[in-house]
Chains A and B, each alone.
Chain A
Amino acid sequence: MRILEFFGSSAVRVALAFVLVTTVATTAVFGLVYLRIGEANEARNRVILETEAAKSVDRSVEELKGAFEVRLTNDLRRIDYAALFDSNRKVMFGNIDALPPIPVDGKAHYVATMHVPGSDNRIEPVIFVARQRPDGNIMVLGRSLLETLAFRRTVQSALLAGLAPMLLLALAIGAYFARRSSRRLTAIHDTIARIMKGDTDLRLPVGARHDPIAQISRDVNLMLDEIGRLLVQLKGVGDNIAHDLRSPLAVVHAQLERGLESSSDEQLRTVARQALAHIDKAMLTVAALLRLADVEYSPTSRNFQSIDLSAICADLFEFYEPLAESKSIKMTLETKSPVQIQGDGDLMREAVSNLIGNAIKFTPENGSVSIAVFRENGLPVVRVRDSGIGVEPAERDKIFQRFYRTSSGHRVPGSGLGLSITAAIANLHELDLRFNDNNPGAVFEMVGRRR
């Protein structure tokens, strides 16, 4: 299993391919050398022999005999053949016993198995030239190719001797890299397995190298960081949801218990009504959560149309004016000209409604709320300013978090999700939701994002 896995790994396959390529390349070089050595040597010998044979034709038999003797005596390497045969093909002198089986045409011919004279059964390849002399005799010159053959053999054995260790070396190098990368992959694999089992703080080993594996590991680690951050956030949200739902549920539980123990129907009815109100509150929270998820995960540009922020604010101003009046809050609207953006009218109304609703909610009687819509440096701005309780400096980072309610705002009913939904809607429209201090009070504004 382990071995199969080892050979199945891509690194090992690469190593094997490397070995194969090296072997083929080396063998090809050696093979070429091997062939070229033989060919060149043979071709040279052929020319020399043919020329010598041609030149010797004019010499007398005596001269020839002397020349042969000198030649054969000087031939310490025993590579020369020279002999003269009479017209009956009997040897007259020289070191060849019998006429080789070649045509007598003055051209060089290859004889693969020549019996070496003076030996018992040694055989060697020889190139012979046989040429008819004017006196009818046949002169034969030859040169052994044994040296070439030996050289070839040397090359051959060198190839074999060299190839084996080289193969081993290539295999070893391949195996080393395969093992190294497989060890890293195994480490990564094991880490991922542990992370999946819940060890979410673990990170993939990166190492000091800058190779693709390290790069991918780094990317995965960044992704894990981001997921981890989201997990923490999610856990916080989950805790908040649980808390926000538990309080009304606990109250409902207590109320219903009390109701069941009560003696009169009227009392039960009262209790049931109170319980219902609390359940409604819980449902409001659930609905707001769904709404938030809906806005946050909806694809952008949905069915966006050209919408006028001024008109939307004017509409909502009219809608909220009676509420402001009922709290003796002075509400003003500042819109000069249409401010067109691409967007979803329903969503934008919801976002602005949340801002105005909040402003009125957190502004005490006789305060003021002002709404302004305009363009600043070409960017659309919706600003809602109030003279309310404002936001404590320590809480300013948190107000955009889900479920966050300011310590002073805790007594005001609400899901705590309004600003989150507004921020999500603003984001969908490429607007930034910002908070500023109004001394006293708060300024919330949605400002177009510069591209």
Chain B
Amino acid sequence: MNKAEARVQTIVLVEDEPAMMDEIKGELESKGYLVRPASIAQAADAARVGDAAMMIMDRIVFGEDSIVTLEALRKEGVKVPVLVISALSSVDEKVKGLKAGGDDYLTKPFAMVELSARVEAMLRRLDDVRTTKLRVGDLEMDLIEKTVHRASNRIELLPREFRLLEYFLRHPGRVITRAMLLQEVWQYHFSLETNVVDVHISNLRKKIDTKGTPSLIVNIRGAGFMLNANP
């Protein structure tokens, strides 16, 4: 447990559907977060005084579009990370949600593991510092030299493999879904019916893993993958 996790983080949740509210609350509380349900106005207040580590906002809450408030908050300079969830699935709506200041956008229906993975990634993003080197165990990535070493052995990676590994190294010990990888590494905003991502991961594993030791990247059943933070 590092310091960031020792402190209980409050997530403000704006959602008018009781069942969805319960599910999200249950999922995130099981991950150790404090979830505070709120109206749009309450959420805005919490964001202004810095009471929220992040916010999850449903697009349409009791007939009101929450991104209007989000836009206003961003204009005021409020920087709290916001995950927008919505049944409005069109690409245009997604763009609208992100333009208004949302940091990520999830379309209903989604799996809870997808939600919590994204929440963790977003909270993690805050801790990002301008590092030039990323390290997990004896695996080290130099962001300036664009090189990767495992126990002083140089590993040659294709550009795309490099970015894939970089994403894992930036989120060690976190569940990362296939959709997140598609979106963040390849910038593909659609779902796939093939297991291409798994093939990419398995190719990456072949290059970075050492024989006889468990893989650095583990499969999380029904969710995605995770980089073992303490190998």
Residue numbers of A with Cβ under 8 A of B are 273, 276-277, 280, 283-284, 286-288, 290-291, 294, 298, 302-303, 318-320, 322-323, 325-326, 344, 346-347, 349-350, 353, 357, 360-361, 413-415, 418
Whether the pair B90, A280 counts as a contact (CB closer than 8 A) is: no
Whether the pair B189, A302 counts as a contact (CB closer than 8 A) is: no
The complex places the Cα of A350 from the Cα of B89 at a distance, in Å, of 15
5 closest residue pairs by CB, A with B? A350-B190, A322-B199, A357-B194, A414-B193, A294-B90
The yes or no answer to B2 lying at the interface (CB within 8 A) is: no
- Of B194, B202, B221, which is within 8 A of A361 by CB? B194
Shortest CB-to-CB span from A289 to chain B, Å, is 10
Whether the pair A280, B199 counts as a contact (CB closer than 8 A) is: no
Whether the pair A273, B188 counts as a contact (CB closer than 8 A) is: no
**A-chain residues with CB within 8 Å of residue B109 when the two chains form the complex:** 283, 286-287
**B-chain residues with CB within 8 Å of residue A357 when the two chains form the complex:** 192-194, 196
**B-chain residues with CB within 8 Å of residue A320 when the two chains form the complex:** 196
Shortest CB-to-CB span from A363 to chain B, Å, is 12
**B-chain residues with CB within 8 Å of residue A277 when the two chains form the complex:** 222
The complex places the Cα of A326 from the Cα of B194 at a distance, in Å, of 13
5 extra A-B contacts, CB within 8 A, seeds A283-B109, A302-B92 = A291-B190, A322-B199, A350-B189, A353-B188, A418-B193
**A-chain residues with CB within 8 Å of residue B194 when the two chains form the complex:** 323, 357, 360-361
**Would you give the 0/1 interface string for B209-227, flagging 1 where the beta carbon is closer than 8 Å to chain A?**
0000000000001100000
- Of A284, A291, A349, A414, which is within 8 A of B89 by CB? A291
Residue of B95, B111, B188 contacting most chain A CB atoms (<10 Å):
B188
**A-chain residues with CB within 8 Å of residue B196 when the two chains form the complex:** 319-320, 322-323, 357
**A-chain residues with CB within 8 Å of residue B95 when the two chains form the complex:** 303
Whether the pair B192, A353 counts as a contact (CB closer than 8 A) is: yes
Whether the pair B193, A413 counts as a contact (CB closer than 8 A) is: yes
Shortest CB-to-CB span from B200 to chain A, Å, is 6
A-B contact count (CB 8 A): 72
The yes or no answer to B191 lying at the interface (CB within 8 A) is: yes
The yes or no answer to B152 lying at the interface (CB within 8 A) is: no
The complex places the Cα of A322 from the Cα of B199 at a distance, in Å, of 6
The complex places the Cα of A357 from the Cα of B191 at a distance, in Å, of 12
**B-chain residues with CB within 8 Å of residue A273 when the two chains form the complex:** 221-222
The complex places the Cα of A344 from the Cα of B95 at a distance, in Å, of 12
Count the B residues whose beta carbon is within 8 Å of the partner chain — how many? 25
The complex places the Cα of A325 from the Cα of B186 at a distance, in Å, of 19
The yes or no answer to B91 lying at the interface (CB within 8 A) is: yes
The yes or no answer to B203 lying at the interface (CB within 8 A) is: yes
- Asked whether A283 and B188 contact (CB < 8 A) given A322-B199, A323-B199, A415-B193, the answer is no
Shortest CB-to-CB span from A79 to chain B, Å, is 94
The complex places the Cα of A286 from the Cα of B111 at a distance, in Å, of 13
The yes or no answer to B160 lying at the interface (CB within 8 A) is: yes
Residue of A nearest to B159 (CB): A318
The complex places the Cα of A152 from the Cα of B79 at a distance, in Å, of 100
Shortest CB-to-CB span from A303 to chain B, Å, is 7
Whether the pair A322, B193 counts as a contact (CB closer than 8 A) is: no
Shortest CB-to-CB span from B194 to chain A, Å, is 5
The complex places the Cα of A208 from the Cα of B183 at a distance, in Å, of 62
The complex places the Cα of A360 from the Cα of B95 at a distance, in Å, of 31
Shortest CB-to-CB span from B94 to chain A, Å, is 9
Whether the pair B92, A318 counts as a contact (CB closer than 8 A) is: no
**A-chain residues with CB within 8 Å of residue B186 when the two chains form the complex:** 319
The complex places the Cα of A328 from the Cα of B44 at a distance, in Å, of 54
- Asked whether A294 and B89 contact (CB < 8 A) given A360-B194, A413-B193, the answer is yes
Shortest CB-to-CB span from A286 to chain B, Å, is 6
The complex places the Cα of A318 from the Cα of B159 at a distance, in Å, of 11
The complex places the Cα of A294 from the Cα of B95 at a distance, in Å, of 14
**B-chain residues with CB within 8 Å of residue A294 when the two chains form the complex:** 89-91
Shortest CB-to-CB span from B60 to chain A, Å, is 16
Whether the pair B91, A344 counts as a contact (CB closer than 8 A) is: yes
The complex places the Cα of A276 from the Cα of B112 at a distance, in Å, of 12
**In chain B, residues 69-104, which have Cβ atoms closer than 8 Å to a Cβ of chain A?**
89-92, 95
The complex places the Cα of A125 from the Cα of B107 at a distance, in Å, of 101
The complex places the Cα of A257 from the Cα of B122 at a distance, in Å, of 38
The complex places the Cα of A346 from the Cα of B200 at a distance, in Å, of 21
